[in-house]
Amino acid sequence: MKKWKVMMAAVICLAALVALAGCGGQDVKQGADNKAQQLSGNITAVGSTAIQPLAEQAATQFMARNPNAKVVVQGGGSGTGLTQVSQGAADIGNSDLFAEEKDGIDATQLVDHQICVVGMAAVVNPAITVDNLTKQQLVDIFTGKTTNWKSVGGPDQKVVLVNRPKASGTRAVFKKNALGDAEEAAGIEEDSSGTVRKIIKETPGAIGYLALSYLDGSVKTVSLDGVAPTKENITAGKYLVWGYEHCYTKGNPSGVADAFLKYLMSDDVQKNLIPQLGYIPSTEMKIVRDAKGNIKNK
């Protein structure tokens, strides 16, 4: 009999909890609405997983300075970021690509904020003796015309392509700027830069590409047309395989979003955080590139 009472109490508590959760939900939503009207408080930044670490870290520092503001950073991918910011579901949409380059996004209503630049290097297995490739050689390798390292002056070893997933920003940037939009042959695809690096390190004859932030000496970088993938060459406009990390807002930002984007462009982030992550501050770039790929001096 006693046990039954205990069980009954448990059931009641559970029911109460469920009811509470339901009511609680509504209260919170109303609270958020009120806040939005007063323009104080909360914003969300959604999108690219490549900027996520940067944005999370910056948000933590930003919130430490502005205790009343709250920035929630979420991943989900560039497509999600662009979709949600266009729909108004998020205040900032993070993307690895220009909104113009993504299908199904109305880029005209979005305002682009270029936070930093990610350089990309073609990397090979350390046992490959090739140090330099011409652009045409690189294209031939990735399109599957060159299948053996012998034909580009390397050892007699089959080429193994390691790609990022087709929709990934890294891959799109590499394809556009290093391969001139040539279509890659089928290769292994890995969702993660860390795994790509691991595979290239361990697989004889492997070639792939990584953001400079992922280079740790375990794989070998290859120069393109004699230009090494270094920060200096990228900022000077000599090495062109790089892409912006964008933060998009719908219309011009205001309130917390504006303050946060300004903070991202401040010395605090540009001079400290961004280099620490292995990215290149967009303030240091001597050239600019537009959505169509045209490059001009700043």
Partner 1 sequence: MNSRLVDRIATVIFWAGALVVIIILGSMISYLLYHGGKYINWGFLTRPSQVISAGGGIGPQIFNSFYLLVMSMAITIPIGLLAGVYLSEYATANKFTEAIRLSIETLNSLPSIVVGLFGLLVFVNMTGWGYSLISGALALTVLNLPFMVRITEESIRGVPGSLREASLALGANQWQTICRVVLPTAFPGLVSGVIITCGRVFEEAAALLFTAGMSSPPLDFSQWNIFNSASPLNPFRPAETLAVHIWKINTEGLIPDLRRVADGSAAVLILFVLSFNLGARWLGRRIYKRMTST
Partner 2 sequence: MKKSFAAGAFSLNSELPGKILTTGAAFLAIISVITIVGFITVKGMSTFVVNGVSVKEFLFSTSWWPDRLPEDGGPQVGVLVFIFGSVVIAMLAVLFSAPLSIICAVFMTEIAPSWGQRFLQPSIELLAGIPSVVYGYIGLSLLVPFIRNSFGGLGFSILAGFLVLSIMILPTIVSVLTDSLRSLPREYKEAALALGSTRWQAIRLVLLPAARSGVITGIVLGLARAFGEALAVQMVIGNMRKMPMTILDPVITLTSAITMDMGNTPMGSLWNNALWSMGLFTLMMSCFFILVLRLTLRKGGVAR
Task: Catalog residues that contact partner 2 under the rule CB under 8 A.
Answer: 8, 11-12, 15-16, 49, 75-80, 82-83, 86, 102-105, 160, 165-169, 172, 183, 186-191, 195, 199, 202-203
Which residue in this structure is represented by tokens 């080429």? 159
Using the contact rule CB under 8 A, the part of the chain among 68-76, 107-115, 137-145, 262-270 near partner 1 is: 68-76
**SS3 state of residue 157:** coil
What gap in Å lies between CA 70 and CA 118, rounded to an integer? Answer: 27
Q: Is the dihedral of CA 236, 296, 253, 93 positive or negative?
A: negative
Cβ of residue 138: shortest distance to partner 1, in angstroms? 26
Using the contact rule CB under 8 A, the part of the chain among 104-112, 219-227, 229-237, 272-280 near partner 1 is: 272-280
Q: Does 7 bind partner 1 (CB under 8 A)?
A: yes
Query: Which helix (H) or strand (E) is 290 found in, with range?
Result: none
Interacting residue with partner 1 among 21, 104, 292, 298 (CB under 8 A)? 21
Query: Which helix (H) or strand (E) is 195 found in, with range?
Result: helix 193-202
**Of residues 70 and 201, the one with the C-beta less far from partner 2:** 201
DSSP β-bridge partners for residue 131: none
Cβ of residue 183: shortest distance to partner 2, in angstroms? 7
Residue 176 interacts, among partner 1, partner 2, none and using kind-specific CB cut-offs from 5 to 8 Å, with: none
Residue 215 interacts, among partner 1, partner 2, none and using kind-specific CB cut-offs from 5 to 8 Å, with: none
Closest CA to 240 of 285, 190, 192: 285
Residue 168 interacts, among partner 1, partner 2, none and using kind-specific CB cut-offs from 5 to 8 Å, with: partner 2
Q: Does 27 bind partner 1 (CB under 8 A)?
A: yes
Q: Which two tokens stand for residue 130?
A: 């090739």
**Of residues 113 and 175, the one with the C-beta less far from partner 2:** 175
Closest CA to 127 of 149, 151, 152, 142: 149
Closest CA to 275 of 121, 119, 169: 119
Residue 73 interacts, among partner 1, partner 2, none and using kind-specific CB cut-offs from 5 to 8 Å, with: partner 1
What gap in Å lies between CA 178 and CA 285, rounded to an integer? Answer: 19
What gap in Å lies between CA 283 and CA 263, rounded to an integer? Answer: 13
Residue 199 interacts, among partner 1, partner 2, none and using kind-specific CB cut-offs from 5 to 8 Å, with: partner 2
Q: Does 24 bind partner 1 (CB under 8 A)?
A: yes
**SS3 state of residue 220:** strand
What gap in Å lies between CA 169 and CA 48, rounded to an integer? Answer: 8
Interacting residue with partner 1 among 125, 146, 163, 193 (CB under 8 A)? 193
What gap in Å lies between CA 298 and CA 288, rounded to an integer? Answer: 6
Cβ of residue 99: shortest distance to partner 2, in angstroms? 9
**Number of Cβ atoms within 10 Å of the Cβ of 56:** 16
Using the contact rule CB under 8 A, the part of the chain among 55-63, 174-182, 238-246, 287-295 near partner 1 is: 55-63
**Strand locations in the chain (E):** 42-47, 70-76, 92-95, 110-124, 132-133, 160-163, 188-189, 206-211, 220-224, 242-250, 280-281, 287-289, 295-297
Interface ranges with partner 1 (CB under 8 A): 3-4, 7-8, 11, 14-15, 17-18, 21, 24-25, 27-29, 31-32, 41-42, 44, 46, 49-50, 52-54, 56-57, 59-60, 63, 70, 72-76, 89-90, 191-195, 213-214, 273, 276-278
